[in-house]
Amino acid sequence: MANKIAPTSKQKSTLMLHAVIFVVVNALLWYFYDKGSMRVDVEGWAYVWPIWITAAWGLSLIGHWAAIHTNYEDAGNEEYLRQLEN
């Protein structure tokens, strides 16, 4: 079975930065939605537009986490490189 590759400290810090920016920007978006003039009420109902940004960005954040923490060595990489040289 392939060995799991441990994430480097740079990868972890990049993920943490991504998460912090996600939280700050989404907090601002939801604040502007709730308190700002971008909220459009139609008969007491307002379209919840920030949910699209939060959902899409949240999925990319999950993908970023998965790319870092579920990384395994490719067992056939050495064979591929050997064949590439010949």
pLDDT for res 16: 97
- Model confidence over 41-77: pLDDT tens digits? 666 677 888 999 999 999 999 999 999 998 888 878 8
Counting residues of the chain whose pLDDT is more than 70, the rounded percentage is 90
pLDDT for res 68: 93
Note the pTM of the prediction, 2 decimals.
0.76
51 vs 82: CA distance, rounded Å: 49
Chain centroid to Cα 46, Å, comes to 27
pLDDT at 40 over 70: no
DSSP secondary structure of 4-54: BPPPPHHHHHHHHHHHHHHHHHHHHHHHHHHHSTT--EETTEE--THHHHH
**Mean pLDDT over residues 22-45, rounded?**
82
pLDDT for res 72: 83
Q: Structural domain boundaries of the chain?
A: 9-85
**Which residues, including other chains, have CB under 8 Å from residue 85's CB and lie 6 or more apart?**
none
